Amino acid sequence: MFFILSKLLDFVLSPAVWLVGLVLLAALGRPARWRKHLLWAAAIGLLIFTNPALVNEALLAWEKPPVTLRQLGRHDAGILLTGITEGQKTPHDRVYVGPGADRLLHTLWLYRAGRIRRIIISGGSGALIQPKTNGEEPRTEAEELQVLLRLAGVPKQDILLETRSRNTRENALFTKQLLAQHPEINSTVLITSAFHQRRAIGCFAKVGLHPAPFPAGFYSSDHKPTLTYWLLPGDQPLALWSILLHEMAGYAVYRLLGYAS
């Protein structure tokens, strides 16, 4: 049930849905004075949620900052969280990578740079409905990312898979079980998107794991002291607000339920 409810957040916490709802209520509203208030609310919301500077400033405050290689040091393994593949896209004869793929590239970068000796990929499937691949069981997200790492030349013996988790809490729980089977791994790095790093580190800490954070896949950009940055609207901020609000709500719920510290 928790898994299904978490997926509903994408719809409930969408500013685009809010704006459409306000306009529909204004069109259907009675008396007329409510229509005026609703339309003004929609207009103000549109100005706020299409402003790139406002969402960027909010992301800069929420995302964990970048970590340099010197700050990171060297570790036994990097824990790569999934959630960046499009498993329902057909045909299923390849791996489709979506937004957030930067975390995969950073993992490979850390491995090639000698900062991590092994790679742990944590993630089963985050889909409510599993796609069928000619009657065969579909690959998990961890298995899909393993395919890409193997194509990039990472030896199979340097990759460990955790293929059961469906959310961040389970990433932490099942990764801890996997690490119990590998006592030679003493220090780890947690590699996930910068906006997700706060909740991920909290979940891992809750189960007694304390990997070094390595944020990747930044949605934010550096400050831009230009008028266009502050005044010119765009369509991308709507999607970014949805991502940010979903993550903030998810973090709050995890803290409330005791899933994250």
Cβ atoms of residues 93 and 134 within 8 Å:
no
Per-residue pLDDT of the chain (261 residues; tens, 9 = 90+): 555 666 666 677 889 888 998 888 888 876 777 888 888 999 999 999 999 999 999 999 999 999 999 999 999 999 999 999 988 888 888 999 988 899 999 999 999 999 999 999 999 976 545 555 555 667 899 999 999 999 999 999 999 999 999 999 999 999 999 999 999 999 999 999 999 999 999 999 999 999 999 999 999 998 888 888 888 899 899 999 999 999 999 999 999 999 999
pLDDT for the residue numbered 132:
55
pLDDT for the residue numbered 224:
81
pLDDT for the residue numbered 127:
58
Distance CA 255, CA 207 (A): 13
Query: Exposed, middle or buried, 178 (CB in 10 Å: 0-12/13-18/19+)?
Result: middle
If phi > 0 it is left, if psi is from -120 to 50 it is alpha, else beta; for residue 215 that is beta
Quick one: DSSP state of residue 189?
E
Distance CA 112, CA 70 (A): 15
Instruction: Give the closest residue to 131 by CA, choosing from 177, 103, 89, 74.
Output: 89
To the question of pTM greater than 0.85 for the whole model, the response is: yes
| Residue 166 β-bridge partners | none
pLDDT for the residue numbered 187:
97
Cβ atoms of residues 125 and 141 within 8 Å:
yes
Residues in CB range of 91: below 8 A, 6 or more apart: none
